[in-house]
Structure 1
Amino acid sequence: MRKRHLALGAMLVAGAMLLAGCSTSGGSSSDTVNKNVDGAGKTLTLWHFESETSAMGIAWDQAIKTFEKETGAKVKFEAKSFEQIRSTASQVLNSNAAPDILEYNKGNATAGLLSSQGLLSNIDKAVDAYGWDKKLAPSLQTTAKYDDKGIMGSGSWFGVPNYGEYVEAYYNKDMFAKYGIEVPTTQDELVTAMQKFTDAGVTPLAESAAEYPLGQLWYQLALTKADRAFVDDYQLYKGKVDFSGPELSYATATIKDWVDKGYISKDVTGAKAEDAGTSFISGQYPIFFSGSWWYNRFNTEVKSFDWGTFLYPGAKMSPGSAGNMWVVPEKAQNKDLAYKFIDITMRPEIQALIGNNGGVPVAADSADITDPKSKELIDNFNTLTGADGIAFYPDWPTPTFYDQLNAGLQELINGTKSAKDVNKELGDEYQSGVDDIVNQ
């Protein structure tokens, strides 16, 4: 997941340049969708990049079997790497070698770019026919819709996600019990818990400022003061973002305060995400705030203590998004079969397979999830989506903001810039990047 978020940022520059030269509109939606398509004698060509042992790989393998049984069609599955699809999509999807359906990355520089070039099918009619919009929370629909410039959040549907991801707190239950600390349910309780750990000589937060974890915490702190309008302004360019306003100034000042109080080590300026994650695995820190993609890693590698998860206390929104999407190329030969396959992956039994194998389904029945930790993971996600609480990621708005945010937080921690100066610099860099995109 980390690499996919970084790929989005790294590709936005090239994407914006290509968008500027495009005159093609998005693919046209079919007039009718045949939900009872006869697949006898037909072959659906399908690409995805999930491993066969991953939650999605396991679930989609079963979906293929169900699809073949119900439609009479055969599936020609071609495993591709994420990089293979990313680097060749524009060329392949504009040729007769295009598959009928593939997993593709969401965002302006990826699915948005291809939709603006007319390489992806507009699937509005299929969404209406199958009711996928009824199964996806509004915040999960954002990365499935693109306008004629390829900017997410409005316009037509060009993909359907069937899994999700989000950021939450992982905590060491044994350390919490040792120091008599309860799981916090409010921000004040979290601060009190961290102070108790600090008083006992334990640094509470496993962190990394060289890579994404600290930036996600920074954004989460801003979200405790934010509403959906702020997120829309920040992520979708619907209005000006004031970096001296109550949301972002609070986030930066709080990070500085927590460093000064010892809740975050000053040594994290050079630490990477892997360092933070493995330090939590080793039992060195009681709390690690990061993404659901760590779940399987912790479930497999944490051997010396019991652990659990909780949403950031008191927050109504958290960083996160829908996962990558099923998209149907405009040149696909079997679009109705592709739509049928997408619908099968949205069924409760396939969603349950995702959930019981460590993934985060978007339309599962919680009663179908049998593993306790998986149920906790999914229930937290459902709590967020039910409250329209998915707020995307702090680095998404511009191609360079990931590196700029990390650099700014490093300067904040090592004391070379004040919180006010960091906010001023980040605000200038953010606005410059947004202007480059919207004024193309």
Structure 2
Amino acid sequence: MFARVLAALLVSTTVLAGCGGSAGDSDPGTLKLWHYESPDSAMGIAWNAAIAKFEATHPGVKVQFEEKGFEQVQKTAPMVLNSNEAPDLLEYNKGNATTGLLSRQGLLADLTEQAVARGWDKRLSAGIQTTARYDERGVMGSGKWFGVPNYAEYVTVYYNEDAFAARGLAVPTTLAEFTAAMDAFVAAGTTPLAVGGAEYPAQQILYQLALSKADRDWVDRYQRYTGDVDFHDEAWTYGATTFAEWVAKGYVGPESSGMKAEDMGVAFIQGKYPIMVSGTWWRGRLQSGIKDFQWGSFPWPGSRMGIGSSGNLWVVPEGSRNKELAYDFIDITLSQEIQDKLRDAGGVPVAPGGSQPTDPAVRTLIDEFDTLVANDGLAYYPDWPAPGFYAVFVSATQKLITGGATPDQVLDEVAKPYAENRATLGG
């Protein structure tokens, strides 16, 4: 995804180690690293451990870490990577609209040789590798390696166990049971869903509803341009109309249209909403932040296809002056030690080791992702296919919340830029 904007407002610079300088300075004693994971997230904890291990195994080399906001990097990466201000290594969003676009523009180093020589192609499963490789059009799934996945993720349903128990509600296993639970909260005067409509995950909910009527061929035609896409087919129509119905039924409150992802998460942590549909990247934050109630999660009910993929990618700018150091750091993040640390902090590893987690909740998290992979159910994110599609989807879905457009009009709105991008790529 795209999907994650946990640190969208964090634009200040934090130097964890080392001295200043940019990639353009060609300082062989400094690795300049950017990522946008919050310090208390599973990934933030793991990457801090990786920095310590890197410095311990590279005497005389310091890591200059700069914390960037997700949307800050997403909006400025093409300009920054084409300048002397580029880092040696950065975390970047996966998919055609982001890593694929930069690869097509020649701004990213080709990592194929390193992937083979260092065994990344053996450590990462075929499904995870989909987001690492891009063809000459910048379309994911084949071609050269331009990024290396460092964790996995999927969208799940977080819920307030105490609130469910107070109304005698069981964990839903079907979509009908899920909507019945939300009806019970509405009847009690509570808006069930915490939803960020100004960023994510409103459009992800619409997409997940569509996925309940979709299969792998449908996903590949949409995400990888393997065939024609009809935005008014059964799946897309069901997703948009059902989302609009959920708004009308009070499952999604009108305040959601202006709510950002951070505000959504904080509201759920504070117990203001009993349900939040969002990614596994929130788990560490919820684990440390929720003090007043018991909480849990369950997979989206009644759908074999689900939103998920590898997590974000490590990418190396073509202009990096310290590529070998960058490759070494990537290696460390894929080591069993760091992947286990990520797992134990509540993340989903992409290169799991032989040991098992001791926390049952973490085991469940990994098992749910493994089930998605085993069922060939990873369906990526709705905004991936085309550059700028994230903003288009956010705006379109907001209109369903405010009543500013009908489901058909919303689908027309997202169909137009998709068709234009497909034409640009040559079909």
Category of TM-score, reference length = shorter chain: 0.7 to 0.9
Task: Work out whether 1:48 is the aligned partner of 2:34.
Answer: yes
Q: Deviations over 1:118-175 (max 9, x none)?
A: 4544332332334323332334222211122333222111221111332111100001
Q: 1:326 to 1:44 in 2, by over 3 A?
A: farther
The worse-fitting range, judged by mean Cα deviation, of 235-244 and 47-56 is: 47-56
Q: What's the TM-score, normalizing by structure 1?
A: 0.78
SS at match of 1:212: coil
SS at match of 1:378: helix
| CA distance in structure 1 between the aligned counterparts of 2:46 and 2:255, rounded to whole angstroms | 41
The structure whose Rg is larger is 1
Q: Deviations over 1:14-34 (max 9, x none)?
A: xxxxxxxxxxxxxxxxxxxxx
Contact preservation (8 Å) 2:246, 2:252? yes
Show the 5 A alignment for 1:255-404. Answer: 255-330=243-318, 338-365=326-353, 367-404=355-392
- Among 47, 52, 75, the alignment partner of 2:61 is 75
Looking at secondary structure, tell me which structure has more helix per residue.
1
Show the 5 A alignment for 1:78-227. Answer: 78-82=64-68, 83=72, 86=77, 87-92=79-84, 99=88, 101-108=89-96, 110-227=98-215
Contact preservation (8 Å) 1:309, 1:376? no
Aligned length: 401
- Which amino acid in the other structure matches residue 55 of structure 1? A
- Which amino acid in the other structure matches residue 56 of structure 1? M
Q: What's the TM-score, normalizing by structure 2?
A: 0.80
Contact preservation (8 Å) 2:222, 2:385? yes
SS at match of 1:382: helix
1:73 positional shift: 5.7
SS at match of 1:143: coil
Contact preservation (8 Å) 1:43, 1:74? yes
Show the 5 A alignment for 1:419-430. Answer: 419-430=407-418
- Which amino acid in the other structure matches residue 83 of structure 2? Q
Contact preservation (8 Å) 1:398, 1:430? yes
Q: 1:173 to 1:365 in 2, by over 3 A?
A: farther
1:289 positional shift: 0.6
1:198 positional shift: 3.0
Partner of 2:20: none
SS at match of 2:33: strand
CA-atom RMSD, angstroms?
3.4
SS at match of 1:308: strand
Contact preservation (8 Å) 1:215, 1:406? yes
- Among 231, 238, 242, the alignment partner of 2:226 is 238
1:329 positional shift: 4.9
| CA distance in structure 1 between the aligned counterparts of 2:370 and 2:99, rounded to whole angstroms | 25
Partner of 1:34: none
Percent identity, please. 49
Q: 1:2 to 1:301 in 2, by over 3 A?
A: farther
Partner of 2:12: none
Q: 1:115 to 1:7 in 2, by over 3 A?
A: farther
1:182 positional shift: 0.9
Show the 5 A alignment for 1:425-436. Answer: 425-435=413-423
Q: Deviations over 1:270-329 (max 9, x none)?
A: 333344333322223221111223223322222211101111012222223323323345
| CA distance in structure 2 between the aligned counterparts of 1:56 and 1:171, rounded to whole angstroms | 22
Q: 1:283 to 1:229 in 2, by over 3 A?
A: same
1:113 positional shift: 4.2
1:202 positional shift: 3.1
Which consecutive residues of structure 1, in runs of 5 or more, have no partner in the other structure? 9-41
| CA distance in structure 2 between the aligned counterparts of 1:105 and 1:146, rounded to whole angstroms | 13
